[in-house]
Structure 1
């Protein structure tokens, strides 16, 4: 497991499973000759997208960002369509760190699409129960409302089995919420109407998880947004604003989906990687 330790805060990347999604869909209107220079693809034109939750440990709290794809949540057809080659090892990873699912205090959900939320509930015999039994789940009010009444497009990604078991754990917010000092979740919209990002300011550093506004390092260009985005222009404007501010602050960018980088810093002009935490292959 890769880690980033800065002062009193530690980030640990857990194995939440892996998907392989269509490269064209992941880069939207960007021509393949451009995006394939920045991100590799397989013979089926699919790109590797990790779904690796990030454990944040600070102030004696265990905070989990996203939850992976879980286990036994997908049919064989879905595994084939989503290019799933590996399911979650999250609980085993936590045990290696000397903690368990019971020790997670907060789960921060940027949004509740199946590739982020399928690990939030697990099978216990014939029943689905919360994976993180003592945690408070933070999700935007807009996201929580929409997933309960999905439209024709979103019902394919908001699955009842990923939200019904954890209803009693959910705490919603409107524009932003400070979970503990220096750890904030901000609503942005764009990828979904309720999509959020996570901003952490601790130990004299800024860390930003832009979730599916910038799922990989190759999506740095504000115009490179996903065909999956419900509101692509909102994604463009939000990403442009966040990138400009974060580059100026020399922030750490932390990733959930990236096949290569766990975290990185870019130069202020965004042209050069100045610091990095690479995924062990």
Structure 2
């Protein structure tokens, strides 16, 4: 379990499972000879993408960023197509911290695509129960509305089994919300219409969780956006705003998907000055 000390807060990366997605789709129009120098790719042209939630304690609350892949929810075909050879181990990971899923108070969901939201519910017969039943689950109102009413494109990633059973726990916001002092969720759009990032401030220290606007360290270039992005020009604009700002402020950038790094700190010129590597 990798950790990052951020001010007086310690962040923990929990094992939430893994996917292996097509590298071309993950880097959009960027030619493979360029992106493959930045991120490893297998013989099937797939790249490894972790789905590992970040846990921390703050203001007396137990908090998660994202929820992992969950367990027992994907068909054999889905497991194969999404390259899932490892599902969530969240309960066991929380046990190492002397906690259970019932102890989670807040879940911050940057968006509700299946690879972020499958861990919110678990199968119970023909229904689905909340995994973090005592938590408030934060997401933008735009994301929550589309989750329940997906269009012809988004229905492939917004699944009823990931929202049925948690409706009473959802806390929505329009543009931005300060969940706790210094802990902000900001609606950006781009990857999805309701996508949000997380900005955490502790004194002079900053942390930016770009979520799927910058799913890996190899996506730092503002023009390197995903073919999965619903609004790529919005993604580019938001990356142009938040990445340079974070670099200038010496912020830590944290990752949910990156298989190499958990967090990176850049200088104002975009050079890496500190990292938290994933233990492989």
Shorter chain as normaliser: what TM range? over 0.9
Distance in 1, matches of 2:88 and 2:79, equals 13
Aligned to 1:274: 273
SS at match of 2:119: coil
Over aligned residues, Cα RMSD in angstroms?
A: 0.8
Residue 158 of structure 2 is aligned to residue 158 of structure 1: yes
Distance in 1, matches of 2:94 and 2:204, equals 27
Distance in 2, matches of 1:266 and 1:7, equals 17
Q: Note if contact 2:55-2:63 (Cα within 8 Å) is conserved in structure 1.
A: yes
Q: Deviations over 1:134-162 (max 9, x none)?
A: 00000000011111111100000000000
Distance in 1, matches of 2:263 and 2:144, equals 28
How far the C-alpha of 1:129 sits from its partner, in A, is: 0.5
SS at match of 2:166: helix
Aligned to 1:179: 179
Q: Note if contact 2:63-2:106 (Cα within 8 Å) is conserved in structure 1.
A: yes
Gaps (5+ residues) in structure 2?
A: none
How far the C-alpha of 1:123 sits from its partner, in A, is: 2.1
Alignment of 1:146-225 (within 5 A): 146-225=146-225
Residue 14 of structure 2 is aligned to residue 9 of structure 1: no
Distance in 2, matches of 1:232 and 1:7, equals 34
Number of residue pairs the alignment of both structures matches: 280
Aligned to 1:79: 79
Larger displacement relative to structure 2 (155-164 or 116-125): 116-125
Distance in 2, matches of 1:146 and 1:242, equals 25
SS at match of 1:164: coil
Q: Note if contact 1:213-1:225 (Cα within 8 Å) is conserved in structure 2.
A: yes
Aligned to 2:93: 93
Aligned to 2:230: 230
Distance in 1, matches of 2:11 and 2:146, equals 30
Q: Note if contact 1:10-1:58 (Cα within 8 Å) is conserved in structure 2.
A: no
Q: Note if contact 1:6-1:203 (Cα within 8 Å) is conserved in structure 2.
A: no
Q: Note if contact 2:105-2:136 (Cα within 8 Å) is conserved in structure 1.
A: yes
Aligned to 2:109: 109
Distance in 1, matches of 2:269 and 2:159, equals 40
Task: Report runs of 4+ in structure 1 exceeding 4 Å deviation.
Answer: none
Q: Note if contact 1:8-1:203 (Cα within 8 Å) is conserved in structure 2.
A: no
How far the C-alpha of 1:56 sits from its partner, in A, is: 1.9
How far the C-alpha of 1:273 sits from its partner, in A, is: 1.1
Alignment of 1:123-138 (within 5 A): 123-138=123-138
How far the C-alpha of 1:212 sits from its partner, in A, is: 0.4
Gaps (5+ residues) in structure 1?
A: none
Q: Note if contact 2:64-2:104 (Cα within 8 Å) is conserved in structure 1.
A: yes
